[in-house]
Structure 1
Amino acid sequence: MEFSVVQGDIAEESADALVNAAGTSLRMGSGVAGALRRNANGPINDEAMSKGPVDLGEVAVTDAFDLDAEYVIHAAAMPHYGDGRATPESIRQATRNTLERADELGCDSIVMPILGTGAAGFEFERGARLVCEEIDDYEPATLTDVRVIGYSERETEQVREIAATLRD
């Protein structure tokens, strides 16, 4: 499936669903989760945690509150126990489950960060390749606008370079 790469703060994006890079407890701490929690202006953390814990690689859905989206899909690519580190399989599974859930919800558009990096400790470029490969291989039912977001210019450029290799 084709997707685009954008740069910015996911909490300022507009889509049917925004994706939270979550841990298995679904507690919304820092990074992507913190940005979404702060901008939602509602009990998104409480709602998310009421749906957890979830298994590694699984997802949960909450209301987006004041975010410019209908849903937030919380993708648990990292465990909130043990070493707290994401794995290649947890990143792939969380990405795939996110896309499937977005289709089940009837979403046309979704914005997804690179799961499993940052606090989850997985190397960014490798994580970006895993996420982009899963999106590229996915056959959507309703999704037509999938955006992968990088926060910094450097991250965004890395994701763009990876996406270009998938399209060649």
Structure 2
Amino acid sequence: MEFDVVQGDIAAQSADALVNAANTSLRMGSGVAGALKRAAGGGIDDEAVAKGPVELGGVATTDAYELDAEYVIHAAAMPAGGQSTAESIRDATRSALAEADALDCNSLVLPALGCGIAGFDFEDGVGIICEELAAFEPASLSDVRLIAYDEDEYERMRAVAAEVEP
């Protein structure tokens, strides 16, 4: 599947679904989760936590509240209080893509799952995500964006994606 690499704030993106970099408890703390929680307004964190915990690599879907999306897919690439692994990033990416497709989404924006506070090497994690994006065969997804917050991450993400893209 083809995908784009973009730079910006995931909470400001317009898409059918936005992916939250979650832990297995689904409690929305800082980083991507914090940005989504602040922009979504009240309720999203409570709804997410009520749907948890989930298995490592699993997902839960909530309403997007005030975000410009229909859904937020909370992808658990790390255990609560723990570190992500190559396997958990791969599983969380696959699960998020499958969930978006099952929800009949056309557009999806996802961050570098497991590469922030979860402690996984950024380039290695982005490489795993890009491999999963490239290999995914969607039924409905046609606009998939991998997002980096700042210019440095964007350039690094683009370089990794250029090596993997189909």
TM-score class, shorter:
over 0.9
Alignment-derived partner of residue 32 in structure 2: 32
Is the aligned partner of 1:68 residue 2:68?
yes
- Residue in 1 that maps onto 2:147: 149
Distance (whole Å) between structure 2 residues aligned to residue 20 and residue 100 of structure 1: 15
| 1:9 alignment partner in structure 2 | 9
Alpha-carbon distance, 1:158 to partner:
1.1
Residue 111 of structure 2, aligned match among 95, 102, 113: 113
Out of 101, 104, 109, which is 1:103 matched to?
A: 101
Partners of 1:89 and 1:124 in 2: CA distance? 15
The alpha carbon displacement at 1:165 in A equals 1.1
Structure 2 unaligned spans of 5+ = none
Q: Post-superposition shift, 1:42?
A: 2.2
| Secondary structure in structure 1 of the residue aligned to 2:93 | helix
State the match for 2:80 in structure 1: 80
Counterpart of 2:57 in structure 1 is 57
Calculate the TM-score normalised by the size of structure 1.
0.97
Query: One-letter code of the match for 1:67?
Result: L
* DSSP 3-state at the match of 1:54: coil
Alpha-carbon distance between aligned partners in 2 of 1:159 and 1:136, rounded to the nearest angstrom: 14
SS of equivalent to 2:117? helix
Encode CA deviations 1:90-145: one digit per residue, 9 max, x unaligned: 00000000000000000000000000011101111111111111001100010000
Q: Secondary structure at the match of 2:33?
A: helix
SS in structure 1 at match of 2:159: helix
Alpha-carbon distance in structure 1 between the residues aligned to 2:153 and 2:131: 16
Shift of 1:72: 0.1
Q: Could you tell me which residue of structure 2 aligns to residue 94 of structure 1?
A: 92
CA contact (8 A) 2:84 2:119 kept: yes
Question: How big is the shift at 1:27?
Answer: 0.2
**What does residue 164 of structure 1 align with?**
162
The RMSD of aligned alpha carbons is 0.9
Quote the offset at 1:163 in angstroms. 1.4
Q: Distance in 2 between matches of 1:167 and 1:13?
A: 22
TM-score by length of 2: 0.98
Q: Tell me, in whole angstroms, the C-alpha distance in 1 between the residues paired with 2:34 and 2:84.
A: 18
Q: Which runs of 4+ in 1 moved over 2 A?
A: none
Cα distance between partner residues in 2 of 1:130 and 1:157: 17
Identity %, equivalent residues: 64
Per-residue CA deviations over 1:19-74 (Å, capped at 9, x if unaligned) read: 00000000000000000000001210000000000000000000000000000000
